[in-house]
Chains A and B, each alone.
Chain A
């Protein structure tokens, strides 16, 4: 069974440019998460979806970050415009439902120069 799939794996962009990350969760998983991970730190939740509804986006910087999960399966996380401090790993994860074990993808590594 395929795990959580993310793309691109690596992205280098200049500051003020936009960037988008895509995630395909494990089949059958209704809950999808986007986490931010800075070097040497644990992941921090940005947004959590239950099906197509964003049920927790309190940590998402809404001035420049946006996310969508239109059909309740795949999801996209966008940053526009990117800042130097956005350089980090963006992890997508999924679970059958909130409260169940969360499985992570390999992450999208962003470098803003």
Chain B
């Protein structure tokens, strides 16, 4: 069946550097994608979303890129800070408004 997955389970990054988190999806019918951040002991927190008619969207220090040709989604975090340490999930939404999550990537920010 369709699934959303992540290439790297753990990403270690130096404070101040940029982070890139990747996600592959398999459902070509998905039309909406979301990135969530989950800190230890908390629920997932919405970061940024993108619709399938776009290939890039920017927020505050974050950028999401969507490549529909290869079914790839990425989250870029600029000037990574200690507070960015968390698990990041990508999620896709297809017909029926069902949100399917990937397995998560842990980001560790080194001081």
Contact = CB atoms under 8 A, between A and B. Distances in A.
B104 A40 contact: yes
B108 interface: no
Contacts of A45: 98-99
A42 B4 CA distance: 10
A36 to B, nearest CB: 11
A105 B43 CA distance: 6
B46 A101 contact: yes
A21 interface: no
Interface residues of B, number: 22
Contacts of B109: none
Contacts of B91: 42
Question: Interface extent on A, as a size class?
Answer: 20 to 34
Contact of B34 (A44, A91, A101): A101
- Of B36, B89, B101, the most chain A CB neighbours within 10 A belong to B101
B99 A102 contact: yes
Nearest to B43: A104
B21 to A, nearest CB: 13
Interface of B: 4, 32, 34, 36, 41-46, 49, 89, 91, 93, 96-99, 101-104
Q: Which 7 A-B pairs have the closest CB atoms?
A: A42-B101, A104-B43, A98-B97, A104-B44, A106-B43, A107-B43, A99-B97
